[in-house]
Amino acid sequence: MSEKRKKFYITTPIYYVNDKPHIGHAYTTILVDVLARYHRFLGEEVFFLTGTDEHGAKVVMAAEKAGKNPKEFVSEISIKFRKLIKVLNIFNSNFIRTTDKKRHWPTVKKIWLKLKEKGDIYKKQYKGLYCVGCEAFITKKDLKDGKCISHQKEPEIIEEENYFFKLSKYAKKLERIIQKNEIKIIPQVRKNEVLNFIKQGLEDISFSRPRKDLKWAIPVPDDSSASIYVWTDALSNYISALGYAKNSDKFKKFWPADVHCVGKDILKFHSIIWPGMLLSLGLPLPKTIFAHGHITINGQKMSKSLGNVIDPFELVEKYGTDAVRYFLLREISPFEDGDFTHQKFEQRYNADLANGLGNLVARVITMAEKVKIQNSKFKITIQNSKLKKEIETTWRKYKKALNEFKFNEALITTWELISFCDRYIEKEKPWELLTNNKQQTTNNKQQEVISNLLYAISDIAEMLKPFLPETSERIFNQLKNQKSEILFPRF
């Protein structure tokens, strides 16, 4: 009997539906897709969740601006996020919407009542600065020249009576948990940021807004004058989608999350508020929170007002899904901010995909096609010990990189193997052997070189599977049929 399969639960943030998806949303979802596919390849049972966050004040404002009612507006945009998933060849297990009254709302209500039962929810009058961009109350230290540093907008001064969550109660415990990597925050610099933030002192946080100001949100279960704060609602998605409200088998099987993948902008919500809620609920904590950097456009922050927002649909239309996946995964270092420009995109495309990978596959398959001896196909075997060792080393480096969320390094190491194969071809010059068909010894040598290369290419295709699933499949088909076709036409 086989052993029980390891489970792997991974999530993206749920995206606000105030606007159509951009390249930043595509980026996070692609990172998660790679990890999900990789863990499936390792034989684990993967649950990959993504979705949309539909109750924020920002969303209501956008609907008003578009002259639509919120319900109609959020549905239209949420569909675009699902379309993006298709276009990017994302293989998610589930898609959750916070407006889903059957799947999501019962969990949010259950959480609310449990937090209250625990004595962690209380009401108080509050005056503070609310930043709609953050969908959060912020403090003076979040401002520069009176504007929110992240959104460059003046916050509203709001005075209202809200329910508060006793986050301060959990401050010491949270600090210890993060310090000891019980929740592992990756990368280390982000972990330090979170710890420094906690050390400055955690205040209780507002968990509701007056219903009259936010009719669109989920109502507080036992108080019709209040709406549940959008982040309380949103963070709950990670367990609502598993059926926490009914204590379903899926919940029991997959919770806690193995990885919450988020952008650095929302790390605090995930590493402080969410674990605070889970501690209060008495639930296990997520194992890892991976916070990636942001994509800038020609060195600038991407924003509607700057008019530099990159539409992932347009990019895919022009270059194809795998080229977009490749650029984001290879060019952007996941722990830092990374820059997108069309020029960089085309450079990477031509150098790495059309030349590097495309060229190697074309050269080798074309040779196999030409040399087919007695019309039988080549065996895909390895007899060269140096090449064999190189492949094994590449696998080791590749796995290490992926286990450490270093997507770009996993690709760099794969491309080093491509270069190694190129050098092997240059050294052995199998095409020169093509003219010497009569000598049996030469034929044998020639067969061996081509078989070795086919073997290396099949490993390269295997390594590419989580990153470029379609390309990987096309390479496997070419290996099977031993018939060459162009993978990436040059731009």
Report the catalytic residues. 22, 25, 131, 134, 148, 151, 301, 304
The answer to whether residues 57 and 214 touch, using CB atoms and an 8 Å cutoff, is yes
DSSP 169: G
Give the residue with the Cβ less far from ligand MSP, 16 or 105. Answer: 16
The answer to whether residues 98 and 41 touch, using CB atoms and an 8 Å cutoff, is no
Shortest reach from residue 136's CB to ligand MSP, in Å = 10
Residue in the shown chain whose Cβ atom is closest to ligand MSP = 24
**How do beta strands 295-297 and 338-340 pair?**
parallel
Shortest reach from residue 379's CB to ligand MSP, in Å = 45
Shortest reach from residue 315's CB to ligand MSP, in Å = 14
Shortest reach from residue 53's CB to ligand MSP, in Å = 3
CA distances from 125 to 150, 162, 395 (A): 27, 6, 58
Judged on CB neighbours under 10 Å (0-12, 13-18, 19+), 252 is exposed
> Rounded to an integer, what distance in angstroms lies between the CA atom of residue 72 and that of residue 4?
44
One-character DSSP codes across 171-202: HHHHHHHHHTTSSEEESHHHHHHHHHHHHT--
Give the residue with the Cβ less far from ligand MSP, 241 or 371. Answer: 241
Question: Binding residues for ligand MSP, per CB under 6 A?
Answer: 13-16, 24-25, 27-28, 53, 234-235, 237, 262-263, 265-266, 294-295, 302
Give the residue with the Cβ less far from ligand MSP, 309 or 362. Answer: 309
One-character DSSP codes across 39-71: HHHTT-EEEEEEEEE---HHHHHHHHHTT--HH
Shortest reach from residue 14's CB to ligand MSP, in Å = 5
Give the residue with the Cβ less far from ligand MSP, 161 or 336. Answer: 336
The answer to whether residues 15 and 52 touch, using CB atoms and an 8 Å cutoff, is yes
Give the residue with the Cβ less far from ligand MSP, 335 or 488. Answer: 335
| Residue 106 dihedral angles phi and psi, to the nearest 5° | -60, -35
Shortest reach from residue 11's CB to ligand MSP, in Å = 8
DSSP 140: G
Tokens of 394: 């590449």
- Among 242, 244, 279, 281, which residue's Cα sits nearest to residue 113? 281
Give the residue with the Cβ less far from ligand MSP, 28 or 472. Answer: 28
147: left (phi over 0), alpha (psi -120 to 50) or beta: beta
Cα end-to-end distance, the chain, whole Å: 52
| Residue 442 dihedral angles phi and psi, to the nearest 5° | -65, -40
> Rounded to an integer, what distance in angstroms lies between the CA atom of residue 448 and that of residue 454?
10
Give the residue with the Cβ less far from ligand MSP, 23 or 360. Answer: 23
Shortest reach from residue 286's CB to ligand MSP, in Å = 12
Judged on CB neighbours under 10 Å (0-12, 13-18, 19+), 145 is exposed
Shortest reach from residue 177's CB to ligand MSP, in Å = 19
Tokens of 189: 């610099």
Give the residue with the Cβ less far from ligand MSP, 136 or 450. Answer: 136
Q: Which amino acid is at 114?
A: K
